[in-house]
Amino acid sequence: MEGSISAQRDTSRKQSEAARAASPRPAPLPVSSTQPSRRSAPQSSFMFREQPACDPVAAPELTSLVNSAAQAENLNPFLVREVARQESGFRPCAVSSQGAMGLMQLMPVTQIELGVSDPWDPRQSIEAGSRLLRQLLLRQLLDRYHGDMSLALSAYNAGAGRVDQAGGVPAIPETRNFVDSILYRLLPGTGMALPGLSPATLLNGLAGGLAGGP
Tell me the pLDDT tens digit for each residue of 71-92. Answer: 999 888 988 999 999 999 999 9
Q: Which of 73, 82, 87, 174 is catalytic?
A: 87
Q: What is the pLDDT of residue 3?
A: 57
The whole-number average pLDDT for the span 48-68 is: 84
Q: What's the number of CA atoms in the CB half-sphere (13 Å) around residue 9? A: 12
Q: How many CB atoms lie within 10 A of CB 192?
A: 13
Inform me whether the pLDDT recorded for 100 exceeds 80: yes
For residue 79, the model assigns a pLDDT of 87
Q: What is the pLDDT of residue 134?
A: 87
Q: Give the C-alpha separation, 177 to 186, whole Å.
A: 14
What distance in Å separates the CA atoms of residue 106 and residue 116, rounded to the nearest whole number?
9
Q: How confident is the model at residue 188 (pLDDT cuts 50, 70, 90)?
A: low
CA angle 101–107–112, rounded 5-degree value: 110
- The answer, yes or no, to whether residue 63 has pLDDT greater than 90, is yes
3-state class of 158 per DSSP?
Answer: helix
Mean per-residue pLDDT of the chain: 74
Q: Is 87 a catalytic residue?
A: yes
Half-sphere exposure at residue 19, Cβ-oriented, CA atoms within 13 angstroms? 17
Signed CA dihedral, 25, 46, 206, 116: sign only: negative
**Mean pLDDT score, 115-142:** 89
Percent over 90 (pLDDT), the chain: 40
Tens-place pLDDT, residues 8-20: 556 555 555 554 4
Given a contact cutoff of 8 angstroms between Cβ atoms, the answer to whether 65 and 123 are in contact is yes
